[in-house]
Amino acid sequence: MIVKTVWQGRRAFVAAGDSGHPIRMDAPAAIGGEGSGATPMELVLAGLAGCIGIDLTMILNQFLGDIRRLEIEAVGTRKETPPKGFTAVEVIFRVDGDIPEYRLRKAIEMGLERYCSVAGSLKADIRYRLILNGAETVA
């Protein structure tokens, strides 16, 4: 896998990988950027959410017709000093549909622990919460 990243001026960059889809990144104005794109750390969280989402839909493929909504929110906690990497990430799954909780939990845990390459690449402590049909579940 190769990603080429090209400077666009000031703090802005555009990256594209093998898929060819461009991703614009920029820093906030407070550190000299223009806020014209996502920050790299936002993209890390987006990558985690997308990765586990793809894994989840693959694991639950035969049950996708029973899912009406799947939203994944990743909330990162960062170190105070440079490098300000993530120390912890909470991944919140909001699912609506006619699918048993145990099936969702098993798929989430398999994805996070075994299949999600982004989760496997992070040093952060990754935990999750499941909200099924509007109600928070307890593991």
For residue range 69-111, list pLDDT tens digits in order: 999 999 999 999 999 999 999 999 999 999 999 999 999 999 9
Domain that holds residue 61: 40-136
Examine the domain organization and report whether 54 and 23 are in the same domain: no
Q: What is the CATH number of the domain that holds 77?
A: 3.30.300.20
Examine the domain organization and report whether 81 and 115 are in the same domain: yes
Examine the domain organization and report whether 93 and 77 are in the same domain: yes
| pTM of structure | 0.93
Nearest to 77 by CA among 29, 127, 3, 28: 127
Q: What angle do CA 96, 87, 130 make, to 5 degrees?
A: 15
Work out the average pLDDT over 105-123: 97
The dihedral built from the CA positions of residue 71, 38, 27 and 116, taken in this order, carries a sign that is positive
Judged by DSSP in three states, 61 sits in helix
Distance CA 119, CA 41 (A): 14
Examine the domain organization and report whether 101 and 123 are in the same domain: yes
Examine the domain organization and report whether 119 and 66 are in the same domain: yes
| Edge-to-edge strand list for the sheet holding 22-25 | 4-9, 12-16, 22-25
